[in-house]
Amino acid sequence: CSAIIASSQYGGQTFTLAHLAPFVEDTRNYFRDKLLKYCPTLSEEQLNALVEAETRKNIEDGIQTLQYQLVTISSTNGQTPFVSICMYLNEAKNEQEKKDLALIIEEVLKQRIKGIKNKNGQYFTNAFPKLLYILEEDNVDPSGEYYYLTELAAECTMKRMVPDYISEKVMKEQKKISYRLNKERI
């Protein structure tokens, strides 16, 4: 889809990881049902640990697939599509979805830190997808629940020169200004 869009437009496209977060709970439920069916004697603690391990592995595989697909496709002009991924926790609809979105963001950052293997088996920094990390209340304060993601983003910046950082506060102010200006033009 990205290649098709990129082939017929100037510039790039951005998508958010928030649309993936609801599927994390579906994945948990799938693994819970499967484990209960085949391993009915597991304790609740064992079951929860296995479900979370399988869910995290599923997220890891999904992000790796997404990343490799974006890196290996090309548009009709022979270029990799200019795609940006927005990592914005406050797009989640509820607290559980926010926690699941944090798992996805964490995996994206970990994989970018690692890099992608080239044909010689060496890890390199891929230019796309661009990563956009939104700084907000609970990920900028060291006592915030998601501060660990900002630390991971900083590590990623040191190693791979991404992500780009966007202030939620400034972004919302700019959106208000843009809305007001567009309204005045009408």
β-pairing, 130-135 vs 83-87, is parallel
Tell the burial category of 6 from Cβ atoms under 10 Å away from its Cβ (0-12, 13-18, 19+). Answer: buried
Please tell me the distance from the alpha carbon of residue 99 to that of residue 11, in angstroms, as a whole number: 32
Residue 79 pLDDT more than 80? no
User: pLDDT at position 127, please?
Assistant: 85
User: For residue range 110-142, what is the model confidence (pLDDT) as tens digits?
Assistant: 999 999 888 899 999 988 899 999 999 999 999
Residue 6 pLDDT more than 60? no
Taking residues 10-36, what's their average pLDDT?
94
Is the whole-model pTM more than 0.85?
A: yes
Cβ-based neighbour number of residue 124 at 10 Å = 11
Residue 3 pLDDT more than 70? no
